[in-house]
Amino acid sequence: MKCPFCGHSETAVAETRVSEDGDFVRRRRQCNACDKRFTTYERPEVSFPNIVKKDGRRIDYQRPKLEASMYLALRKRPVSTEQIDSAIERIEEKLLNLGLREVQSTRIGELVMRELKKLDKVAYVRFASVYRNFEDLDAFRSLVDEVSK
């Protein structure tokens, strides 16, 4: 690890701690040349699949886009931030477990709808009405009837 103060390439690890949730490792390092200390964080590198949009474009997976859609559907609903974050983590875990390099955006939409259906029926209907792009009232009514059962 290169020293951020003097640029020397040799540093020693003075202390190592695992975060409370176990998601990363915090290391205190000391430069062998200037003796200054600095902190580094070690996290696993995770590679999400690329998303294939309906029009064929390929884009990188973006967690903020997923969060924004879920928060919009759950706006003013009695669902905690922790519940939403857990649902997003379950979606991401499923994406990673697929082991694919590319995933259709429709598949992600289905995963979101499944999670929203568990969290809040109103949010599920909100999301589905936009996602499925209903052309007529009967299709929308059948979705509401499905949720009402």
**What pLDDT, in 10s, does the model give residues 41-87?**
898 777 899 999 999 999 999 999 999 999 999 999 999 999 999 99
Per the CB < 8 A criterion, the answer to whether 28 and 14 are in contact is: yes
Statement to judge: residues 122 and 72 lie in one domain = yes
Q: Quick check: is 73 in a domain?
A: yes
Q: Quick check: is 16 in a domain?
A: yes
Q: Quick check: is 99 in a domain?
A: yes
pLDDT at residue 44 in the model: 79
Per the CB < 8 A criterion, the answer to whether 63 and 92 are in contact is: yes
Say how many domains are in the chain. 2
**Structural domain boundaries, residue 33:** 11-42
Confidence of residue 130 (pLDDT cuts 50, 70, 90): confident
DSSP label of 49: P
Q: Quick check: is 3 in a domain?
A: no
Q: Quick check: is 68 in a domain?
A: yes
Confidence of residue 137 (pLDDT cuts 50, 70, 90): confident
Statement to judge: residues 90 and 19 lie in one domain = no
DSSP label of 100: -
Q: pLDDT at residue 29 above 90? A: yes
Statement to judge: residues 79 and 112 lie in one domain = yes
Statement to judge: residues 21 and 81 lie in one domain = no
